[in-house]
């Protein structure tokens, strides 16, 4: 899994950065792409990226502010032209369906694939045999949610030497053992899963927050996360401004990562006052003074997700 930032600016796009959208690339895990937020110009950013809309499976919207949402109708309308014909589900706060249906209807846009819209108010918003996605309300001017993506533990590796010793060839029996079953051998013995399967592979946890100022649900969502993506709109000397606008500072994001025992912190959603990498560097250094394993989000850069257990 890797994170790919399509936009890292707060409020409005600039010549240096686009507004918020984050790709979670899971090509190895489920041959799929998930997007988190879809600010204006996201589909243009996708065209310049390593991401493929043909693999887009889900979009999670944190809140209904334009810099997180205004790119959604265009992307939904044009997705099929980029090979996206498989079903797509969009998750987000109450009001999201009315926004999508209204914009598509008034623009007479035709959707050539199955589009599902799921509104939620937190809790478990998605779960299958591979992943669970939990959400909780943050503290912003409108309802804003964070998402906790939990990869479920995967079975360990088969011990092929033992299987070969017992004369078991690749096929359905491999799957039966890997999934926790037992098989009867030709000599009457029973071979159990735990005898040939190694320790389960610990799943990863990724936390992606919407706009927020410090609140208890940040820690709840970020607890023991392998990666925490947290807004850092301002430097700490603008803490009062951040509070008044329901945003966070660099140090607040860093303290959140430290208190939640996260492994890595990626800062994003930067104020337009910080124009380039040189002006963003103080934000990074300020956060690193509290939480050393901090990175700045950069657009069109892959961020591999490393497990805490490694």
Angle formed at CA 4 by CA 234 and CA 210, multiple of 5 degrees: 45
Which of these is catalytic: 67, 143, 224, 237?
A: 67
Looking only at the bridges linking them, the beta strands covering 294-296 and 265-268 are parallel
- Asked about 226 being catalytic, the answer comes back as no
Say if residue 230 carries a ligand binding annotation: no
Say if residue 140 carries a ligand binding annotation: yes
Is 147:197 a contact under the CB 8 Å cutoff?
no
Say if residue 194 carries a ligand binding annotation: no
Looking only at the bridges linking them, the beta strands covering 205-208 and 227-231 are parallel
Say if residue 65 carries a ligand binding annotation: yes
What is the C-alpha separation between 225 and 131, in angstroms, rounded?
14
* Cα 147 to Cα 41, 156, 277, 292, distances in angstroms: 23, 27, 27, 23
Say if residue 153 carries a ligand binding annotation: no
Say if residue 243 carries a ligand binding annotation: no
- Containing H/E element for 2? strand 2-7
Say if residue 237 carries a ligand binding annotation: no
Please give the structure tokens belonging to residue 16: 């240096």
Is 183:171 a contact under the CB 8 Å cutoff?
no
Q: Angle formed by the axes of helices 277-288 and 250-259, to 10°?
A: 40
What is the C-alpha separation between 295 and 89, in angstroms, rounded?
30
Active-site residues, by number, are 67
Binding-site residue numbers for Zn(2+) are 63, 65, 67-68, 140, 211, 269
């Amino acid at each position: 899994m890797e994170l790919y930032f399509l936009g890292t600016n707060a409020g409005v796009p600039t010549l240096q950065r686009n507004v918020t959208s984050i790709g979670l690339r899971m090509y190895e895990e489920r041959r799929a792409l998930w997007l988190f937020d879809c600010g204006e110009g996201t589909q243009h950013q996708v065209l310049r990226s390593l991401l493929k809309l043909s693999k887009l499976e889900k979009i999670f919207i944190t809140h209904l502010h334009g810099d997180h949402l205004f790119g959604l109708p265009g992307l939904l309308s044009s997705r099929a032209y980029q090979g996206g014909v498989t079903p797509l589900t969009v998750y987000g706060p109450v009001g999201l369906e009315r926004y999508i249906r209204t914009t598509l209807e008034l623009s007479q846009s035709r959707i050539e694939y199955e589009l599902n819209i799921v509104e939620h108010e937190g809790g478990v918003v998605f779960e299958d045999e591979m992943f669970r996605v939990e959400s909780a309300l943050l503290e912003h001017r409108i309802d804003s949610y964070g998402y906790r993506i939990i990869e479920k533990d995967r079975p360990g590796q088969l011990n092929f030497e033992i299987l070969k010793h017992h004369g078991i060839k690749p096929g359905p029996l491999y799957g039966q053992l890997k999934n926790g079953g037992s098989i009867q051998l030709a000599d009457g013995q029973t071979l159990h899963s735990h005898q040939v399967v190694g320790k389960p592979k610990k799943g990863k946890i990724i936390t992606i927050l919407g706009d927020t100022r410090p609140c208890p649900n940040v820690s709840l969502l970020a607890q023991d996360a392998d990666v925490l993506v947290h807004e850092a709109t301002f430097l700490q000397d603008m803490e009062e401004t951040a509070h008044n606008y329901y945003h966070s500072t660099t140090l607040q994001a860093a303290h959140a990562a430290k208190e939640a025992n996260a492994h890595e912190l990626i800062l994003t959603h930067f104020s337009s006052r910080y124009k380039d990498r040189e002006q963003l560097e103080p934000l990074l250094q300020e956060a690193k003074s509290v939480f050393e394993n901090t990175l700045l989000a950069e657009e069109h850069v892959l961020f591999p997700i490393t497990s805490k257990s490694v």
